[in-house]
Chain A
Amino acid sequence: MGSRIIFLVDMQSFYASIEKADHPEWKAIPLVVSGDPKRRSGVILAACPLAKAYGVRNAETLWQAQQKYSQLKVVRPRMQRYLEVSLQLTQIMERFTDLVEPYSIDEQFMDLTGSQQLFGSTIQMAQTIQQTIHEKLNLPARIGISDNKVVAKMACDHFAKKNETGIFHLPSDQVPEILWPQPIESLFGVGRRMANHFRRMGIRTIGELAQFPVDQLKKRWGIHGQVLWMSANGYDHSPVTRNSFQKPKSIGHQLTLPRDYYTEKEIQVVLLELCEEVCRRARRQHYHGKKVTVGCRSADFDHPHGFSRQIQMSTYSHHAPTLFPYAWKLFETFWDGKPIRSLSVSLSSLAPDDLVQLDLFTDHLQHQRLDQAMDIIHDRYGATALLRASSLLPASQVKERAKKIGGHYRS
């Protein structure tokens, strides 16, 4: 493979910038997008550069942010809108190359190796993309450039975000000169705990990791150690691909409850709803799975307890009434009886659902027809158009959840 040209396009203060683009009157005001302060989701999701100038940071509570600047403009998240804009961004980028990989809601990788003849030099292309996004959506973008994904990401995080133009080109052969002096936690994939491990081994900078014997890293951390070592050296061969072609490892949903749930009856209602949601998403992606994982956390966030356990089913499934008894059995076995505040269900050991082992005692075809009918109704008329009777109980979260994306309100 010859040298590639990879961009990481990052949207500055994405949610906050969208709000400002949609409401020009807020342009000059320090603004934050924050969850409902009355509920537990009251944390800062995005802060505009003006707010950041007052020291406001992402993920702190709204209350803490308001201590720093009491006049903050607080806006509720509109997740549906942000998703739409994210898709529009992808469409804009797809004018430059067909290889666009959404990495998160506000970051996308682009492979422009084949587009050089069309759009000029590397830096020119980056400027054109930046301008196009600004013209079409009135949003600021920063672009990290390299010949692979991991270096492009670090070029963006550590340099493009900090310079005037918002563009930084870091070819991997300049990694020793530019990236190696950076502290070890600046390496992509190194968190606080990993940084502590490294520091105890005498590794303080990216360069020191890059020159560390890889065998020792492999011995201690296995493949993960090797990947970090490769990143430190600026090696990364992973291609830019559409996420949709990647097979998911698991499909899961987590739910933070609005209040403590105490009784088996109440928990069963939401557990079944989570199973339904997981199965529905699995069906949409045409996967069925064999392993069910159930997790829960207690109400007491200061003394957290809870569990995450899994069980293997005897067949692949994406039919909620099949999943539920396993999920409930797990919950019943490991629950300590204390009130819970969050619950999660996921399905893993996935396989494409085009192969179905027939069963003497289960009519898979009937299940399939029923699920299909339900999916069509939900897709056309919304998630609340057709509910299980148990979802009419007060414990149900379906209606509340239908209003949200990623735990925050749609609009």
Chain B
Amino acid sequence: MKFQVSKSALVEAVSQVSKAVSSKTTIPILTGIQVIAHDQGLCFTGSNSDLTIQVNVPNQKEEQQQVTVEEMGNIVLPGRILGDIVRKLPGDQVTWETTEKFQTVIQSEQARFELIGLDPDEYPRLPHLTNRSSFTLHTDTLRTIIRQTQFAVSHDEAKMILTGVLWQLKQGKLTSIGTDGHRLARKQVDIEGSEDLFFEHVIIPGKSMAELAKTFNDSDGYVDIVVADNQLLVQNEHLEFYTRLIEGKYPNTDDFIPEDGQIEVICSTRDLLQSVDRASLISRGGRDHVIKWTIKDGIVEISSISQEIGKVTEQVKAQVSGEELSISFNPRYMMEALRSLDCEEVRLLFKGTMAPFTLRPKEYQDTLHLILPIRTH
């Protein structure tokens, strides 16, 4: 196999697929990156037990020749070292040649690397998708969904189901939920032309979600989402991102989410975030991460006491309706929720000292955060 490729295209492709390459895998071949040269261009693949990323580099990009394949073929090279090498190559053009015994020569200007490759026949095939259903999503929307729900998932391996983000598609509406049991984040978006589609137990590993957001970080335009048995595929023209799904049944959370509340607070998101952030300086030093809110006429009073450090109090102006209420909770959950909301003003609804409370943007309903309080006695 032999080809020439522009360095920038090579670096881009290798760095994308590297996200799926793990040095800690028990399957040696998966520490490598697979490179295929075919008549249309090049194809790079990186994979671990959870996810697989494949990048296609076509011969031409925007009418510019970026790949010239002289001889087709394939090879697997050690992933980490390949990534380091291609980034540091001196020239703009790279020549790549693989001989029969998997030996690969990568040349750019005066630099010449001879690498020992692995047998490409051992490299696993792409996940086979059965029972597919698909829809399209703008990458902006995809990134927002991930940003607003992925942070809330559990990191506790003992609660495997909760380490994933739940996706449900019903009546043209995609619902994404992340929760660790202490707080919950939910985002809903309308998917045009998906009225006939239905699924309710697609659980995507939280780590895969984070990688997915990074992978499509710089992309614009639409992606196809393909939901299949045990796999989810997100793809555009050049990139295919496969992730394993978590098997099992996600607990029903609808019943937990109160649609109303006796006490309503409307407040500037920024003011609230900054005051909770300040109060958490004291609570973070204490034994437990807890702050207290006292909601009364026109203000939210935020306080935190730590026996070892001291205390803090401050007031934030707010529109308050309903009775006076005191409630304690973990400020980290509040800060993460407020940071993920893209709105000037936030609306909070409370039912009581011991009851979960909700945060929503004042102007719209598609985003919701639920926080469970800390019981004090």
Measured between beta carbons, the chain A residues less than 8 angstroms from B256 are 360
Does A135 lie at the interface of the complex (its beta carbon under 8 Å from any beta carbon of B)? no
A200 to B287 Cα, complex, angstroms:
42
> By the criterion CB–CB under 8 Å, are A354 and B374 in contact?
no
> By the criterion CB–CB under 8 Å, are A355 and B376 in contact?
yes
> By the criterion CB–CB under 8 Å, are A354 and B376 in contact?
yes
> By the criterion CB–CB under 8 Å, are B375 and A314 in contact?
no
Closest residue of chain A to B375 (Cβ to Cβ) is: A356
A136 to B292 Cα, complex, angstroms:
54
Does B253 lie at the interface of the complex (its beta carbon under 8 Å from any beta carbon of A)? yes
Does A376 lie at the interface of the complex (its beta carbon under 8 Å from any beta carbon of B)? no
Does A117 lie at the interface of the complex (its beta carbon under 8 Å from any beta carbon of B)? no
> By the criterion CB–CB under 8 Å, are B374 and A314 in contact?
no
Measured between beta carbons, the chain B residues less than 8 angstroms from A362 are 181
Point out residues on A near B: beta carbons under 8 Å: 313-315, 325-326, 329, 351-352, 354-362, 364
A329 to B184 Cα, complex, angstroms:
26
Within the complex, the shortest CB–CB distance from A212 to chain B, in Å, comes to: 33
A-B contact count (CB 8 A): 56
Within 8 A of A (CB), among B164-213: 179-182, 184
> By the criterion CB–CB under 8 Å, are A356 and B374 in contact?
yes
> By the criterion CB–CB under 8 Å, are A314 and B159 in contact?
yes
Give the residue of B154, B184, B372, B373 whose beta carbon is less than 8 angstroms from that of A314: B154
Within the complex, the shortest CB–CB distance from B175 to chain A, in Å, comes to: 16
Does B124 lie at the interface of the complex (its beta carbon under 8 Å from any beta carbon of A)? no
> By the criterion CB–CB under 8 Å, are B354 and A357 in contact?
no
Within the complex, the shortest CB–CB distance from B310 to chain A, in Å, comes to: 18
Measured between beta carbons, the chain B residues less than 8 angstroms from A329 are 157-158
**Contacts A314-B154, A314-B159, A326-B158 given: A358-B374 contact, CB under 8 Å?**
yes
Within the complex, the shortest CB–CB distance from B280 to chain A, in Å, comes to: 15
Within the complex, the shortest CB–CB distance from A291 to chain B, in Å, comes to: 13
> By the criterion CB–CB under 8 Å, are B156 and A314 in contact?
yes
Give the residue of A358, A360, A361 whose beta carbon is less than 8 angstroms from that of B375: A358
**Contacts A356-B374, A360-B184 given: A314-B251 contact, CB under 8 Å?**
no
| Residue among A314, A325, A329, A354 facing the most chain B CB atoms (10 A cut-off) | A314
Does B155 lie at the interface of the complex (its beta carbon under 8 Å from any beta carbon of A)? yes
Measured between beta carbons, the chain A residues less than 8 angstroms from B374 are 355-358
The 5 closest A-B CB pairs, nearest first, are A314-B156, A358-B372, A359-B181, A356-B375, A360-B181
Does B288 lie at the interface of the complex (its beta carbon under 8 Å from any beta carbon of A)? yes
Does B15 lie at the interface of the complex (its beta carbon under 8 Å from any beta carbon of A)? no
| Residue among A313, A356, A357, A361 facing the most chain B CB atoms (10 A cut-off) | A357
Does B47 lie at the interface of the complex (its beta carbon under 8 Å from any beta carbon of A)? no
> By the criterion CB–CB under 8 Å, are A358 and B155 in contact?
no
Measured between beta carbons, the chain A residues less than 8 angstroms from B253 are 360
> By the criterion CB–CB under 8 Å, are B288 and A355 in contact?
yes
Give the residue of A314, A325, A352, A357 whose beta carbon is less than 8 angstroms from that of B155: A314
Within the complex, the shortest CB–CB distance from B86 to chain A, in Å, comes to: 38
A358 to B351 Cα, complex, angstroms:
15
Measured between beta carbons, the chain A residues less than 8 angstroms from B179 are 360
Closest residue of chain A to B288 (Cβ to Cβ) is: A355
Give the residue of B251, B330, B377 whose beta carbon is less than 8 angstroms from that of A357: B330
Does B79 lie at the interface of the complex (its beta carbon under 8 Å from any beta carbon of A)? no
Closest residue of chain A to B179 (Cβ to Cβ) is: A360
Measured between beta carbons, the chain B residues less than 8 angstroms from A313 are 156, 158
Does B356 lie at the interface of the complex (its beta carbon under 8 Å from any beta carbon of A)? yes
> Could you mark each residue 359-377 of chain B with 1 if its beta carbon is under 8 Å from any beta carbon of chain A, else 0?
0000000000000111111
Give the residue of A325, A351, A360, A364 whose beta carbon is less than 8 angstroms from that of B356: A360
Does B290 lie at the interface of the complex (its beta carbon under 8 Å from any beta carbon of A)? yes
A70 to B320 Cα, complex, angstroms:
86
In addition to A314-B154, A351-B287, A358-B373, 15 A-B residue pairs with Cβ atoms within 8 Å of each other are A313-B156, A314-B155, A314-B156, A314-B180, A326-B158, A329-B157, A329-B158, A351-B288, A354-B376, A355-B375, A357-B182, A359-B182, A360-B179, A360-B253, A360-B356
> Could you mark each residue 249-289 of chain B with 1 if its beta carbon is under 8 Å from any beta carbon of chain A, else 0?
00101001000000000000000000000000000000110
Closest residue of chain A to B373 (Cβ to Cβ) is: A358
A14 to B278 Cα, complex, angstroms:
56
Question: Can you give 16 A-B contacts (C-beta < 8 A)?
Answer: A314-B155, A314-B181, A325-B158, A329-B157, A355-B375, A357-B330, A358-B182, A358-B356, A358-B373, A358-B374, A359-B181, A360-B251, A360-B253, A360-B256, A361-B181, A361-B251
A357 to B291 Cα, complex, angstroms:
12
Closest residue of chain A to B180 (Cβ to Cβ) is: A314
Measured between beta carbons, the chain A residues less than 8 angstroms from B159 are 314
Measured between beta carbons, the chain A residues less than 8 angstroms from B354 are 358
Give the residue of B155, B181, B356, B377 whose beta carbon is less than 8 angstroms from that of A354: B377
Within the complex, the shortest CB–CB distance from B376 to chain A, in Å, comes to: 6
A362 to B155 Cα, complex, angstroms:
17
Measured between beta carbons, the chain B residues less than 8 angstroms from A364 are 375
Measured between beta carbons, the chain A residues less than 8 angstroms from B373 are 358
Measured between beta carbons, the chain B residues less than 8 angstroms from A357 are 182, 330, 372, 374-375
Within the complex, the shortest CB–CB distance from B371 to chain A, in Å, comes to: 10
| Residue among A325, A329, A354, A360 facing the most chain B CB atoms (10 A cut-off) | A360
Measured between beta carbons, the chain A residues less than 8 angstroms from B155 are 314
> By the criterion CB–CB under 8 Å, are B356 and A355 in contact?
no
Closest residue of chain B to A247 (Cβ to Cβ) is: B287
Within the complex, the shortest CB–CB distance from B339 to chain A, in Å, comes to: 20
Within the complex, the shortest CB–CB distance from B42 to chain A, in Å, comes to: 41
A20 to B256 Cα, complex, angstroms:
66
Measured between beta carbons, the chain A residues less than 8 angstroms from B372 are 357-360
A313 to B290 Cα, complex, angstroms:
18
A358 to B352 Cα, complex, angstroms:
13
Closest residue of chain A to B253 (Cβ to Cβ) is: A360
A362 to B375 Cα, complex, angstroms:
14
Within the complex, the shortest CB–CB distance from A259 to chain B, in Å, comes to: 31
A314 to B374 Cα, complex, angstroms:
14
Measured between beta carbons, the chain A residues less than 8 angstroms from B287 are 351-352
Measured between beta carbons, the chain B residues less than 8 angstroms from A351 are 287-288
A358 to B377 Cα, complex, angstroms:
13
Closest residue of chain B to A329 (Cβ to Cβ) is: B158
Measured between beta carbons, the chain B residues less than 8 angstroms from A325 are 158
Within the complex, the shortest CB–CB distance from B151 to chain A, in Å, comes to: 15
Closest residue of chain B to A350 (Cβ to Cβ) is: B287
A404 to B330 Cα, complex, angstroms:
42
> Could you mark each residue 326-355 of chain B with 1 if its beta carbon is under 8 Å from any beta carbon of chain A, else 0?
001010000000000000000000000010
Within the complex, the shortest CB–CB distance from B168 to chain A, in Å, comes to: 17
Measured between beta carbons, the chain A residues less than 8 angstroms from B376 are 354-355
Within the complex, the shortest CB–CB distance from B144 to chain A, in Å, comes to: 24
A357 to B180 Cα, complex, angstroms:
12
> Could you mark each residue 82-122 of chain B with 1 if its beta carbon is under 8 Å from any beta carbon of chain A, else 0?
00000000000000000000000000000000000000000
Within the complex, the shortest CB–CB distance from B346 to chain A, in Å, comes to: 21
Within the complex, the shortest CB–CB distance from B51 to chain A, in Å, comes to: 24
Within the complex, the shortest CB–CB distance from B309 to chain A, in Å, comes to: 15
Within the complex, the shortest CB–CB distance from B184 to chain A, in Å, comes to: 7
Closest residue of chain A to B286 (Cβ to Cβ) is: A351
> Could you mark each residue 216-257 of chain B with 1 if its beta carbon is under 8 Å from any beta carbon of chain A, else 0?
000000000000000000000000000000000001010010
A346 to B183 Cα, complex, angstroms:
28
